[in-house]
Amino acid sequence: MSSVFVYCEIEDGQVADVSQELLTKGRTLANELKCKLEAIAIGSKLDKVGDQIIPYGVDTLYIADDERLFPYQTLPHTSIVVNLFKEQKPQIALMGASSIGRDLGPRVSSALHSGLTADCTSLVIGDHYDKKQDKNYENLLYQIRPAFGGNIIATIINPDCRPQMATVREGVMKKEILDPKYKGKVVKLDVAKYVSDEDFVVEIIERHMEKSKVNVKGAPIVVAGGYGVGSKENFKLLYDLAEVLGGEVGASRAAVDSGLAGHERQIGQTGITVRPKLYIACGISGQIQHRAGMEESAQIIAINTDPEAPINSIADYVITGDVAEVIPKMIKYYKKNSK
């Protein structure tokens, strides 16, 4: 049975969070399909990445190590992945829906004429019956993703072409080491066989990467706190909720001004504009300047002690109650009901 494959992104010798999350998901899918989990790491000075990657339950890790392969460039990375996929013929290939994965994935999929589903929020194995051909497909990858600005959820399948390729954003899947002592093998690729000199046509003149970043803008779920959250302790609850849901914490200006949150998190007219699929407004009254930065969210939950708070008029769910009481319950019932 051909394998599930994960492309691992590496920066400064560290495997990206999104890749670790995909390895965890890949392992689950491989178990279900009773096949191997394989991974590829492309870059420079990769001696130590095996120790980071194998424990996720990776059976074979391919390494392409060459000075010229870091930082990421489209053509050489594409050549390696395309040629390796032609040899190994994986049935599923996963990449981060990151600046790298969304540059590489479509190029690879075009070269292999295999479908690619962008930005999946859920990946499950399932069967499919095709009426027109009266044909049954077993064990396809259901690639579930929002589209139309988060207003619809589509389940996409690739019945006939392989690999079935999907990208997933950071924070969507959970990461979990399978076994620190997992026995997987490492295969070093002969890079010259996979790339040609013509692949190195781009000259990277300058590069600035920030290590840890607050990315409220890109988060699919934003838990935002206002003045009504009241204290730093209560604000901690918002971080807990954001963490379990895979979201980020935002804030109103009143919360920022009173020191409850950093300025980089301020949402509104004089802050950032967000359009997540879910916005949870905690102790925020919903003044027009705040709404300017969040009212295009696909769904809004308002938690406010005041049943007449202006935010309620644009909310899908209005919870009349105290933040300190409601949030722990949301965490509890999310954990209880999600798999």
Ligand X SMILES: Cc1cc2nc3c(=O)[nH]c(=O)nc-3n(C[C@H](O)[C@H](O)[C@H](O)COP(=O)(O)OP(=O)(O)OC[C@H]3O[C@@H](n4cnc5c(N)ncnc54)[C@H](O)[C@@H]3O)c2cc1C
Would you say 12 or 67 has its CB closer to other proteins? 12
Minimum CB separation from ligand X for residue 272, in Å? 8
Minimum CB separation from ligand X for residue 61, in Å? 28
Would you say 57 or 226 has its CB closer to ligand X? 226
Q: Is 148 left (phi over 0), alpha (psi -120 to 50) or beta?
A: left
**Residues 156, 161: Cα–Cα separation, whole Å:** 13
Would you say 75 or 186 has its CB closer to other proteins? 75
> Sheet of 60-65: strands edge to edge?
116-120, 164-168, 92-96, 4-8, 37-43, 60-65, 185-188
Footprint of ligand X on residues 147-186 (CB under 6 A)?
147, 152, 154, 156
- The entry of other proteins, ligand X, none near residue 266 (CB within 5 to 8 angstroms by kind) is ligand X
Burial class of 54 by CB neighbour count within 10 A (0 to 12, 13 to 18, 19+): buried
- Select from 90, 96, 101, 228 the one that contacts ligand X (CB under 6 A): 228
Residue among 178, 141, 238 nearest 20 (CA):
178
CA neighbours within 13 Å on the CB side: how many for 112? Answer: 31
- Which window, 4-12, 67-75, 280-288, 331-339, contacts ligand X (CB under 6 A)? 280-288
Q: Is 288 annotated as a binding residue?
A: yes
Would you say 181 or 207 has its CB closer to other proteins? 207
**Residues 261, 239: Cα–Cα separation, whole Å:** 11
Minimum CB separation from other proteins for residue 92, in Å? 13
> Greatest CA separation found in the chain?
68
Binding mask 104-143 for ligand X (x = CB under 6 A): -----------xxxx-------------------------
Cβ-Cβ contacts under 8 Å for 70 (sequence gap 6 or more): 10, 43, 44, 45
Binding-site members are 252-253, 266-270, 283-290, 304
Instruction: Enumerate binding residues for ligand X (CB under 6 A).
Output: 115-118, 145, 147, 152, 154, 156, 226-228, 230, 252-255, 266, 268-271, 283-285, 287, 289-290, 293, 303-306, 309, 322-323
